[in-house]
């Protein structure tokens, strides 16, 4: 059964990427790197489920999703771009096999970085970031998601490729 969660805030992360902070159902748990199916709770969109990754941590009182909006086609992310405070999302259980297996080099392109956001935020909490490196590919400088936060977390081990 999908759970209905209210959007509490949205924040522009880059020109086409938005952070959605939502309520968290009681007892809801996920592993850093996991995703869930998300639908917009609006007429015509409730059955249009798309996978998005949690970027918050289990200890947070809310959930966060960081989502790239594709405005050029008539999909769910375009609708998400028109969705904000007070609207609801429908989420399912957490799933996905991406998880931290120990220090290493992480490779990501664009919004593909989202599993590493919660993995690195979790390692920061545990003071275990050392020995990890992120190589992050984007089209242009303005497309880099959470540049400042990655720089703070990883220092020289945050490598951007444009
Ligand atoms: C496990 C997993 C986790 C993910 N986590 C995240 C995340 O955290 N953040 C994130 O931003 N993304 C994430 N994604 C990607 C995200 O799921 C997709 O970007 C999203 O599903 C796109 O949905 P959409 O409805 O907007 O577009 P689509 O489902 O691609 O397309 C909707 C409609 O538009 C058509 N269409 C598709 N492309 C074009 C085009 N170029 N021009 C014209 N029409 C087109 C399609 O045929 C379809 O009818 C994840 C994906 C997976 C598999």
Q: What is the CATH number of the domain that holds 141?
A: 3.40.50.80
pLDDT digit string (tens) for 81-123? 999 999 999 999 999 989 999 999 999 999 999 999 999 999 9
Atom of ligand 1 nearest to the CA of 17: 11
User: Mean pLDDT across the stretch 15-25?
Assistant: 98
**Cβ of 113 less than 6 Å from ligand 1:** no
Cα angle: 120, vertex 16, 57; to 5 degrees: 25
pLDDT digit string (tens) for 142-162? 999 999 999 999 999 999 999
Q: Which domain holds residue 129?
A: 105-161
User: Mean pLDDT across the stretch 65-73?
Assistant: 97
For ligand 1, pick from 45, 73, 115, 121 the residue to mutate: most ligand atoms within 8 Å of CB. Answer: 73
DSSP designation for 120: H
Q: Are 80 and 18 in contact (CB under 8 A)?
A: yes
Answer whether residue 98 is part of any domain: no
pTM, two decimals, is 0.94
What is the per-residue pLDDT for 1? 79
């Amino acid at each position: 059964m999908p759970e209905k969660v209210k959007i509490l805030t949205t924040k522009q992360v880059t020109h086409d990427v938005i952070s959605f902070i939502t309520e968290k159902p009681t007892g809801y748990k996920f592993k850093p790197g996991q995703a869930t199916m998300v639908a917009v709770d609006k007429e015509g969109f409730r059955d249009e489920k798309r996978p998005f990754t949690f970027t918050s941590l289990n200890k947070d009182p809310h959930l966060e999703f960081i989502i790239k909006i594709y405005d050029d086609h008539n999909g769910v992310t375009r609708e998400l771009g028109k969705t904000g405070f007070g609207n609801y999302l429908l989420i399912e259980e957490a799933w996905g096999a991406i998880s931290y297996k120990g220090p290493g080099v992480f490779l990501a392109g664009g919004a593909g970085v989202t599993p590493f956001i919660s993995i690195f935020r979790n390692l920061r909490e545990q003071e275990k970031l050392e020995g990890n490196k992120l190589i992050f590919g984007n089209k242009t400088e303005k497309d880099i998601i959470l540049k400042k936060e990655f720089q703070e977390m990883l220092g020289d081990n945050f490598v951007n490729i444009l």
